[in-house]
Amino acid sequence: FAGLADVSISEDIPVEGEITIPVGSRSPDEDFSTLDEPVRDTIMRDLKAVGKKFVHVMYPKKSSALLRDWDLWGPLVLCVSLALMLQGGSADSKDDGGPQFAEVFVIIWFGAVVITLNSKLLGGTISFFQSLCVLGYCVLPLTVAMLVCRLVLLAGSGTISFIIRLIVVVAMFGWSTLASTAFLADSQPPNRKALVVYPIFLFYFVISWMILTFTPQ
């Protein structure tokens, strides 16, 4: 080992420091660790987020809550409840034309995906799931219309009930379209807004058609 005797650590390379891992202040994540909280808190937080978005849909202002913190719980709940309410209508014979549960589901989700693809292809800056989130949440007015229609149909199914249902469905259809346009149109280039709004109009028109033509057995 004679050669090693010449090796020495140069004086100007500092060899100092701590070997221990600093256990300093707790990282910020640990303060928000959601693993220890009660289950009720977790569920309530998500429910409150969904509820807040419902309020945003009913009173569409320029707020980014729907876009920034998108979730798909609300659309799922709305879709399932709408599909359930559309059951039990002239469904005794299988090919009598009323929408089945799976048909409503497929129409809503497939329609939302097609509209999202359309707006992205036209050059929109919104992300895929944000757009699905907005379209799903804006089904809320139509779900309310379905509820009202079912209540009206309990009272009778003559011409007056039809006129009431027509007015309610048309109003809610307009509300849905306006709400989703308010959220989605900003992310499009300005000379293509109508191209994006038209498929949304068609989508809610189909859903409104299904609601209006619901006839209980």
Partner 1 sequence: QLLGGQRQPRSFWTFEYYQSFFDVDTQQVLERIKGSVMPLPGKNFVRHHLRNNPDLYGPFWICATLALAVALSGNLSHLVEKRTSPTYHYSPQIHNVTIAATLIFCYVGLVPLALWGFLRWRRSPGSPPGPYSFLETVCAYGYSLSAYVPSAVLWLVPVSWLQWLVLAVAALLSAAVLAITFWPPARADSWATALAVVATVVSLHTLLAIGCKVPMGGALGGSVSPPHDPHPIFPSPH
Q: Return residues touching partner 1 (CB under 8 A).
A: 90, 93, 96-99, 103, 118, 120-123, 157-158, 191-195, 198-199, 202, 205-206, 209-210, 213, 215
d(C-alpha 142, C-alpha 140), whole Å: 5
Closest distance to partner 1 from the beta carbon of 201 (Å)? 10
Residue 46 or 96: the one with the smaller Cβ distance to partner 1 is 96
Closest distance to partner 1 from the beta carbon of 191 (Å)? 4
Closest distance to partner 1 from the beta carbon of 196 (Å)? 9
Which two structure tokens, joined as six digits, stand for 107?
Answer: 């129409």
Residue 54 or 129: the one with the smaller Cβ distance to partner 1 is 129
Burial level of 32, CB count in 10 A (0-12/13-18/19+)?
A: exposed
Residue 64 or 157: the one with the smaller Cβ distance to partner 1 is 157
Count of CA atoms in the C-beta half-sphere (13 A) of 121: 7
Residue 54 or 205: the one with the smaller Cβ distance to partner 1 is 205
- 72 near 133, Cβ under 8 Å? yes
Closest distance to partner 1 from the beta carbon of 10 (Å)? 54
Helix (H, G, I), strand (E, B) or coil at 14: coil
Q: Which residues contact 123 (CB under 8 A, 6 or more apart)?
A: 188, 189, 192
Closest distance to partner 1 from the beta carbon of 25 (Å)? 44
Residue 26 or 94: the one with the smaller Cβ distance to partner 1 is 94
The count of other CB atoms within 10 Å of the CB of residue 196 is 23
One-letter amino acid identity for 47?
A: L
